[in-house]
Structure 1
Amino acid sequence: MSEATPAPSSAQPKPWRQLDRWSYALALYGIGGVAIVLLALPTVIVLITSFTSAGTLRFPPPGFSTQWYRALVSASPEILAAAGVSLKVACAATLAATVLATAAALALTASKAGWARAADTALMSPLLLPALALGLGLLLTFNQMNLGLSMTTLIIGHTVICFPFILRTTLASLAQIDRALEECSLSLGASAWFTFAYVTFPLARGGIGAGAFIGFMASFDNVAISLFLADARSEVLPIRLWDLIENMLDVRAAAASGVLIATTVVLMIIMEKLTGLSRFIR
């Protein structure tokens, strides 16, 4: 009778396995902690600086005061005007990009042909190009078309920026929809518009809304495209804040940034509750 084969022993002693887990956790959380600090520290510094009692931007502040937030409301008509322009441009660009990106996503999802993959890559190309190169390319394109710089050209440029964000999240949302639901609607006699309005859109609106939010923020905060496509009457908020920092080290720029940070956080919380934003940006 042959001897029984002994069971294989553990590859590593238990203390070594624990050390391996601890070292992995230390490296993972250590690198993650460094990344979080590097990403969050500039924001924290800006927020602290916005409450300075000094007359110019300096860190650490010699004292704390809310005077610059009061000045932002009562003595900064040019900043408020620039914020209004940014809001109009971002809303118009987001609306246009949402319509175009949703239509493109529906077409790409419905087709299995090779052209769909190539079209997807081409439509995402604004994210692959450096922002300055994209802005210069749009400016040259408008010049070739004999279009002068105006609010319209600025909105078109920002639409190009918003489009890829909305397209990507909409495609991700459409990929989770059971095609049988649309086929059932069509087979029962519903039109394509009815099927989209009552079947596809309700199921995909989370991804569309998430992309629209990301596109809106990308447009509102954009500098490169606005530098090339804005005229003297359409100065946007990021360029105005840049001028304040570059020429005067004005603390109102930090105060405006603080308002934008707080607004962004509130909007992100609202969008997470309404659309589950984090599911579409992972």
Structure 2
Amino acid sequence: MVGKKVLITGSNGLLGRSLRACLLQHNFVVISTGLGSDRFEEFGGFYEEMDVTSLNSCNRIIDKYKPDIIINAAALTNVDACENNKEHCLNINTHSLLNYIPQIQNYNIHFIQLSTDFVFSGIEGSYVENDLCDPVNYYGFSKLESEKILLNTLSNFTIIRTSLVYSNDCANMNFLNWVKSSLEKKIKLKIVDDQYRTPTFLTDLVQAILKVLNMKKYGVYHISSGERLSIYQIVCNIAKYYGYNMNLINKTNSKTLNQAATRPKDSSLRIDKAVNELNFKPTSLLNSLK
């Protein structure tokens, strides 16, 4: 029996690559898309070059494959780059969604949008799905605006907000690999202890998306470990587990960093809804390193 057709945007990225592998294993027909050539053609499935900012490009691919599901993993996620080039950020993270809307409605496609904890101000922390969104940087603003587009135009969508996604997979750079690589090279790190996140193990995120597909769940879900940690605590836990020199890690605060974009102080996410409705079972940071 042929499975449902899933189109993935941003398939050459960290999440897109893992989604592709997982969905192919679960007998979905996977159409991977991205800018440039296929970096992971050994995975199989279909691959098409697609520019998410081009209406013609999106229409051509969606008309060709008529997917049942689109997972939008394409995004500009560098927070400082978003702050420094707001127009580019908005084109990729927000305006691109307008290219999908007519086709989603035409083919009754289930649209899954990846979003972020940075839609919140970070003043309160421990956010649930219906808490007030008030981003403090342009990246968060661009993702919140994309959420609003879906909320105002569609009913068959799922928004998945996540936080600090990491993996041991070396094919795509991420926070965990950056910490390990830096400490292996004996590079001294200045890490903030006044910002709190709920880090997300990539495998957990992929499994949660798989549950959303199989259960056909709509609405907004928070997916993370649910484990509220400062960034300093996260780095120290990684270093201790792998036996790196703890003296290389220096504690600092956000005010000492010369960053273009403000970061929320505490954007930790509550995951009760995902646990109850998706039977989501998160992995702690420590267990994910094993």
TM range (shorter): under 0.3
Compute the TM-score of the two structures, normalised by the length of structure 2: 0.24
Q: Which has the higher helix share?
A: 1
